[in-house]
């Protein structure tokens, strides 16, 4: 579209009536083009897909936190998942449900409308993190802590979460934030954040199909036909429920 208008015309006091009319015509043409362009952009925006459901993020020099969902709509009685997403700065880490010799796991307090329900927090498989003489279990990078939500009868659900977590790198800093997601009623469909939940499902611990035996000296033996020196790259023991282990 050709660029016409005030930028290419300077009006003087001695112009003829014809010149004045041409100036006004040029201005009106430019204004009309701008109006048509604005209308076109508005129409494009109206036709574009709705923005994915994600809360406002809370950022520090150590971590960026937000609440994400695996769907952009909720149907009555159909569970979906939300998750605390922590994107940790390089060098910083947070902790697993059993942090090991030190640390604290993230905590989520979930508030739902009457009739809604929330499951327990899901934990990705942790990594071992050496902190001086201490061995801890936790995470670095981009982590998800999901929770299953069952909406009430109307489907539309407001999920409010108060979360706190501990991040460490030479020093430890407690952080906390409040998040809110308003999930509208509708046919559930995967959100743009759904791949994050799929990645969590691949990394989450699962029940072992192999037989495990603790010997008299405390040695743990895991036996299975698939477990051979050529198939096992690394193995370590991390106890998820310390009180449960101590009570046996």
Q: What is the pLDDT along the chain (248 residues), one digit of tens a residue?
A: 433 333 232 333 333 333 443 334 333 444 434 443 333 333 333 333 334 578 999 999 999 999 999 999 999 989 999 999 999 999 999 999 999 999 999 999 999 999 999 999 999 999 999 998 999 999 999 999 999 999 988 888 999 999 999 999 999 999 999 999 999 999 999 999 999 999 999 988 877 888 888 889 888 888 888 888 888 877 777 777 655 444 34
Please provide residue 104's backbone torsions phi and psi, each rounded to the nearest 5 degrees.
-140, 140
Neighbours of 246 (CB within 10 A): 8
**CATH number belonging to domain 58-203:** 2.60.40.1250
CA–CA gap between residue 3 and residue 30 (Å, rounded): 8
Q: Where are the domains of the chain?
A: 6-47, 58-203, 211-246
224 is written with which tokens? 């299975």
Helix (H, G, I), strand (E, B) or coil at 163: strand
Q: Residue 92: exposed, middle, or buried by beta-carbon count in 10 A (0-12, 13-18, 19+)? A: buried
CA atoms within 13 A on the CB side of 238: 22
Residues 149 and 159 sit within 8 Å (Cβ to Cβ): yes
pLDDT attached to residue 242 = 53
């Amino acid at each position: 579209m050709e660029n016409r208008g005030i930028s290419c015309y300077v009006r003087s006091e001695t112009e003829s009536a014809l010149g004045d009319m041409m100036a006004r015509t040029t201005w009106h043409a430019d204004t009309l083009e701008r109006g048509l362009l604005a209308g076109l952009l508005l129409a494009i925006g109206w036709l574009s897909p709705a923005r994915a459901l994600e809360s406002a993020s809370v950022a520090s020099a150590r971590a960026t936190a937000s609440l994400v969902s695996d769907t952009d709509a909720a149907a009555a009685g159909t569970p979906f998942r939300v998750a605390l997403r922590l994107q940790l700065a390089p060098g910083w880490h947070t902790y697993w449900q059993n942090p090991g010799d030190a640390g604290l796991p993230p905590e989520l307090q979930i508030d739902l409308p009457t009739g809604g329900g929330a499951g327990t927090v899901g934990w990705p498989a942790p990594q071992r993190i050496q902190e001086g003489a201490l061995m801890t279990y936790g995470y670095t990078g981009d982590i998800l802590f999901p929770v299953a939500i069952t909406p009430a009868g109307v489907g539309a659900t407001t999920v409010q979460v108060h979360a706190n977590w501990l991040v460490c790198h030479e020093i430890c800093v407690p952080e906390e934030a409040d998040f809110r997601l308003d999930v509208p009623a509708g046919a559930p469909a995967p959100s743009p954040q759904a791949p994050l939940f799929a990645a969590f499902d691949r990394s989450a611990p699962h029940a072992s199909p192999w037989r495990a035996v603790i010997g008299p000296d405390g040695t743990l033996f895991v036996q299975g036909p698939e477990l051979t020196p050529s198939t096992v790259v690394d193995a370590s023991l991390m106890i998820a429920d310390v009180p449960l282990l101590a009570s046996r």
